[in-house]
Amino acid sequence: FFLYFNGYNLSYESVIPAFLFATLNYMIILFCNLTLILTIVLNKSLHQPMHLFLVSLPINDLIGSSAFFSQLIKEILTNSQMILFSSCVAQAFFIHLYAAGSVFILAAMAYDRYVAICHPLHYNTVMTNAHIMKIITAVWSSCLVFIGGLFILLLRLRFCRSEITHPYCENPSLLALVCEDTTINNIYGLLISALSQVIANATVFYTYLQILLTCFRTKRADTKAKALQTCGTHLFVFLLMECLGLFAIISYRIKNISPHLRRFIGVSTLIFPPTLNPIIYGLKTKEIREKVMITF
């Protein structure tokens, strides 16, 4: 059956600008993230621990942005606010997978920086390719299990409404269409959100605290400046994702919040990080920047 978006309500004059803006934004995300992936994959000199972690980030960004923009561009072009239920569930699954993946991948990258800066002599021994693949596998497996369980619980319920108030499909907006008791779903959703936040934030807090202590102890000014610059950009991306994600989660528990603000924050989590991540990590990393320039 079909679901209906309480959509963007675009006027006839604003359809073309909206289409151009959405398409251009998506093309920038595709170009930047694919360039980063191909640069790392095709250059053997970049097959290092940090860069292998970095491949997972643009892949994850492409999953989230593609799930969002494909439906958005179709909706603008066709002026249709209908979506198949199965397509809506698929979009919601990949958007939640992207959200969980972003947090866990950035936490894994924080651990890599911790070992590199705090234990540089043991880095090559600890961060072997086998160990890195285990971490990456654990990250993606955890995301698939957490989000898979969320949607298994969702699909067992009976839907009796069809209007989605959010600009894209996600678990809370789909739960609002259910006519049965959703207590188990709400508890599970809050549980996996809390668990993922505790794991990611504890990892980032501990690793960056140790990195800061190590930086202040070192006597080499260039090493301190490089470490702080690298970790500063990483921390900025992590805090951006955390703030946007937490606000999106909390906004559903606050009844008086503006629906326009909720929509803006929800869309921002799928636009800003996928656009900024490859630019920040690609341009800030000297080795990658040089390889990109040589390629072009």
Element containing residue 173 per DSSP (H, E): helix 171-175
Residue 253 has a pLDDT of: 67
Q: Is the pLDDT of residue 222 over 70?
A: no
Over residues 176-205, mean pLDDT: 90
Q: What burial class does residue 286 get, using C-beta atoms within 10 Å of its C-beta: 0-12 exposed, 13-18 middle, 19+ buried?
A: exposed
Residue with the two structure tokens 């301190």: 224
Which CATH superfamily includes the segment(s) 2-295?
A: Rhodopsin 7-helix transmembrane proteins (1.20.1070.10)
pLDDT digit string (tens) for 104-113? 998 998 898 8
Are the CB atoms for 76 and 25 separated by under 8 Å?
no
Residue with the two structure tokens 């002599």: 121
* Cα atoms in the 13 Å half-sphere on the side-chain side of 119: 11
Residue 104 has a pLDDT of: 92
Least-confidence region, from 65-74, 83-92, 96-105, 161-170: 161-170
Single-letter amino acid, residue 223: T
* Both tokens assigned to 30: 């595709």
More confident residue, 120 or 92: 92
pLDDT band at 244 (very low <50, low <70, confident <90, very high): confident
Are the CB atoms for 134 and 60 separated by under 8 Å?
no
Neighbours of 181 (CB within 10 A): 9
pLDDT digit string (tens) for 78-97? 877 888 999 999 999 999 99
